Amino acid sequence: MDASRTRIQRIRTRLGMARERWRVFEARGGAPRARYFGARKHRFELAPPVTLEAVRQWEAAFQVELPEAYRIFLTELGEQGAGPFYGLDSPWGLLRKSAEARAGYGGWMRAPCSLREDLPPGGPEDTRWLERIGGADWEERFNQDKWSPSQGTLSLVQVGCGEEIVLILNGPLRGRLCQLCEVWQTPQVHAAPDFLTWYEDWIEGVILGADTPGLA
């Protein structure tokens, strides 16, 4: 617990530094740069944290257990806001869906995640990576909504143009972050071993001036 407290305090401090750098940059009328992409939406602010009981209720609603590092972030730092690209989305938005939609999302998140790190590069005309994780009949099952490369994940960041950063909820990569765009390009699993490390890496990139908002 002491180690987690230290990490949380470090994130708070570094996020404050990033916020001040953004304010100075904005006040000077600086041209947009990748590390500040989407900052006008979240302004490096986080919404208040939620209670552990609220997290447990969310997990019960979808029958999904969130990775520990992300649970700590939600209960100690914030529900949504400051993050790469357009910032972190709130998983509580899913609770406002209809009962049918909530059941669908729950099943989606519980479905086995087949994402891997060692996938061949690909795109719309090169589907080798999809065959690797989805099998030879991946396209038929994808079109029938029976399988998807993003199943078993929780969407947390909207990158734009249909691309998003997701939190992997099960399987060998549970707790890792991955940037993907369904069938259009090979998913990019981020190197960070957990959510808190990934988030710290993003903040450091902002402070140090690295134009890498997604931080692979």
Identify whether 204 is part of a domain. Answer: yes
Q: Work out the pLDDT band at 216, boundaries 50, 70, 90.
A: very low
pLDDT at 213 over 80: no
Of 22-31, 43-52, 114-123, 129-138, which range is least confident?
Answer: 22-31
How far is Cα 91 from Cα 75, in angstroms, rounded to an integer? 13
pLDDT of residue 32: 56
Q: What is the pLDDT of residues 21-58, one digit of tens each?
A: 888 878 877 655 666 777 888 999 999 999 999 999 99
Q: What is the pLDDT of residues 159-210, one digit of tens each?
A: 988 889 999 999 999 999 999 987 678 899 999 999 999 999 999 988 887 6
Q: Count CB-CB contacts under 10 A for residue 135.
A: 13
Identify whether 159 is part of a domain. Answer: yes
pLDDT of residue 33: 63
Question: What is the number of domains present in the chain?
Answer: 1
How far is Cα 86 from Cα 133, in angstroms, rounded to an integer? 29
Q: Count CB-CB contacts under 10 A for residue 156.
A: 21
- Print the SS3 string covering 111-163: CCCCCCCCCCCCECCECHHHHHHHCCCHHHHHHCCCCCCCCCEEEEEEEECCE
Q: The domain containing residue 113 runs over which residues? A: 2-208
Identify whether 13 is part of a domain. Answer: yes
Identify whether 179 is part of a domain. Answer: yes
Lay out the sheet containing 153-160: strands in order across.
Answer: 153-160, 163-168, 177-180, 188-189
Decide: 67 and 169 in contact? Cβ < 8 Å: yes
Of 25-29, 84-88, 150-154, which range is least confident?
Answer: 25-29
Phi and psi torsions of 29, nearest 5°: 70, 30
User: pLDDT over 70 for what percent of the chain?
Assistant: 92
pLDDT at 75 over 90: yes
On the CB side of 191, CA atoms within 13 Å amount to 5
Identify whether 191 is part of a domain. Answer: yes
Q: Work out the pLDDT band at 212, boundaries 50, 70, 90.
A: low
Identify whether 81 is part of a domain. Answer: yes
User: In the structure encoding, which two tokens stand for residue 93, read together?
Assistant: 């938005």
pLDDT of residue 135: 94
C-alpha closest to that of 176 among 136, 138, 216: 216
Identify whether 72 is part of a domain. Answer: yes
Average pLDDT score over residue span 150-157: 96
C-alpha closest to that of 102 among 51, 72, 69, 57: 57
pLDDT at 138 over 90: yes
Identify whether 38 is part of a domain. Answer: yes
